[in-house]
Structure 1
Amino acid sequence: MIARWQRTLLLFILLTMAAWLVWQSPHSPLRAVLGALVPLGIYLVVMAVEFVLMHITNRADAAPRARLSQVASAWWAEVWVALLVFGWRQPFRHQSLPDWLPAQPTGKRGVVLVHGFMCNRGLWLPWFAHLLARGHAYVAVNLEPVMGSIDEYADIIEDAVRQVTAATGQAPVLLCHSMGGLAVRAWLRAHQADGRVHRVLTLGTPHGGTWLGRFSRAVNGRQMSLAGDWVVELQRAEPAGRAALFTCWYSNCDNIVFPAMTAALEGADNRLVKGVAHVQMAFDAQVMWACLEEIGL
């Protein structure tokens, strides 16, 4: 579903740019080029506003505050990473590589990959080769309905966990980006599945909600409001000790989940990665290799 929406939006933008070029080029080539670049300019400005709001909001946060040079570097990296993910991998390549469930157990632990808000399994494409090379079975889910309640994703995750467990004979690791970590916590609550998961790794998950959640009109977006009713109730419903299952990476340059410490979870193994943006975190070499090491334990 989200792939179709993203393809449609991208096609509309490209057609609009082409139509403007054709219309204006005979009159003013400069105006034609500048007008065609307006969508790119809007994208750059919106992204910059996110980083400015993040940096201002993080002034009162307990995490080490990022230097301006780190913020600028993270903005530039996120510009390119987000274009690749939302403009290519998710709309066009999300089904290009299948899940891998070996016919015979490899002796290695399997992985369930859970994406975040407005994403699909295409987010994880660069991970598949690493997991396959190490013999880790994997299933990357698509969370739908795209704008539905986070609670509705529990059965999707349950099915993936059952598949990976059946293929490996071992409790899997759940690797989650952004909202995916909350979806896994909702699954743990719904299925009381603590004993069926080896470890939960979250990358930029708004465990305490995020400042930007207040602006969302989607059900799952509103559920991620900072200290909102849904995340507070989720925390209250969790038994003591569950957080010990989690390793949570958080960043002082996360342009979507801020203040920074909202991506940490009390009682978890919380790890700060400095100067890394939100989508970028899913592909940061330091984070990727640390996750792969944890999966292999």
Structure 2
Amino acid sequence: MRLARLQQLLTLVLLATALGWAGWMASAGRPVLAVVCALLVLGFHALVLGLEMAVAARVNRDDPAPAASGLQRLRAWWGEVLTAPVVFCWRQPFFPDAVPDDPGAPGRRGVVLVHGFICNRGLWTPWLRRLRARGIPFVAVNLEPVFGSIDRYAAVIEQAVRQLEQHTGCAPVLVGHSMGGLAIRAWMRDFDGDRRVHRVLTIGTPHRGTVLARNARTTNARQMRRDSAWLQQLASQEPAQRYRRFTCFYGHCDNVVFPASTATLPGADNRHVSATAHVRMAFHREVVNEVLAWLEAPASSCESDMAGATPPTR
């Protein structure tokens, strides 16, 4: 996978830079400065995340989402500082296929997992292990080309949905993180999704775009600009009742999708997640438990319903 190789290279360059700078300072008889230099290189992402958090806090001041306290933003920042390197420097570049897909067997509802921008299926590794332990069928896609149009990802999702349909005979649950939620909406538009999906859950998806993409240059990132022409066209092609099939998780500490309420849809089951940043939101307990509830809810039939699926019993 192209993205995995790119992230491998970036990770190795980062480590080499940190070690080289530290070694240079140590050879110059400055061991304390050597440690400081290495930490600055390895912890540079923390500064970037802090800047994103500050911008998001400013933009969110006029947003209807619940206001975040300073302590909540600090908790969200620290959680993302710890989570981001594990995802982008370990799971995705070196072990994207640590848990192979398991399309399951007839009679058990499965799930299609769709990652976001600059990610691959390695994002979902903790999910995949949990799903496998519970015997839940799953397929986690890779959206490529990495910087292509979101419209092109619909065909990738269609392959995954067909695989689960053929193996289980059930309409699957679809879960999308960030841009992945938009790719799912594109799939529903192009492949009769209302008839074939049981439930859609999105996590920090810029349904109405994000301020962070204002100066974006790649095709898919430009499509995620606030109220972009692409987003407006997508919404115009969707029937109003479609959003009743969606559960949208959003948060006031999302450092990528802001204003916060742009990650919601009218008529959907919109769930606010507090004190949690963008990537870490994909592993939030409330999010994971909600997906499992839809997958494990008893049902008399695996078939989807045009009127919308019945919420799981908790």
The question of a shared fold, defined as TM-score above 0.5 by the shorter chain, is answered with yes
Structure 1 counterpart of 2:196, one-letter code: R
Partner residue, 1:74: 76
Select 2:32's aligned residue among 30, 33, 43: 30
Counterparts of 1:17 and 1:40 in 2: how far apart (Å)?
A: 7
1:9-158 counterparts in 2 under 5 A? 9-27=10-28, 28-102=30-104, 104-105=105-106, 107-158=107-158
Deviations 1:17-62 (A, max 9, x none): 2222222212122232222222234211111000001111110001
Q: Which stretch has the larger CA shift, 231-240 or 37-46? A: 37-46
Q: Aligned pairs, how many?
A: 295
Counterpart code for 1:159: Q
Aligned mates of 2:65, 2:115 — CA distance in 1: 25
Q: Distance in 1 between matches of 2:98 and 2:124?
A: 11
Letter in structure 1 aligned against 2:56? M
Q: Does 1:169 align with 2:169?
A: yes
C-alpha contact (below 8 Å) 2:207/2:262 kept by paired residues: yes
Distance (whole Å) between structure 2 residues aligned to residue 224 and residue 295 of structure 1: 29
Gaps of 5+ in 2: 298-314
Question: Equivalent residue for 1:190?
Answer: 190
Instruction: Find the aligned partners of 1:292 and 1:188 in 2 and give their Cα distance.
Output: 22
One-letter code aligned to 1:32: A
Equivalent position amino acid for 1:23 in 2: W
Q: Secondary structure at the match of 2:27?
A: coil
Which stretches in structure 1 are left out of the alignment for 5+ residues? none
Q: Secondary structure at the match of 1:271?
A: strand
Contact 2:5 2:93 survives alignment (8 Å): yes
The superposition leaves residues 162-194 of structure 1 with CA deviations (integer Å, 9 ceiling, x where unpaired) of 001111101100011000000000111122321
Runs of 4+ more than 4 Å apart: none
**Secondary structure, counterpart of 1:175 in structure 2:** strand
Determine the structure 2 residue equivalent to 1:224.
224
Task: Write the distance in 2 (CA, Å) between the matches of 1:174 and 1:55.
Answer: 30
User: For the residues of structure 2 that align with 1:254 and 1:240, how far apart are their CA atoms?
Assistant: 26
Counterpart position of 1:273: 273
State the one-letter code of the partner of 1:16.
T
Give the fraction of aligned pairs with identical amino acids, expressed as a percent.
53
Aligned partner of 2:279: which letter?
V
For the 8 Å contact 2:102–2:138, the answer to whether it is kept is yes
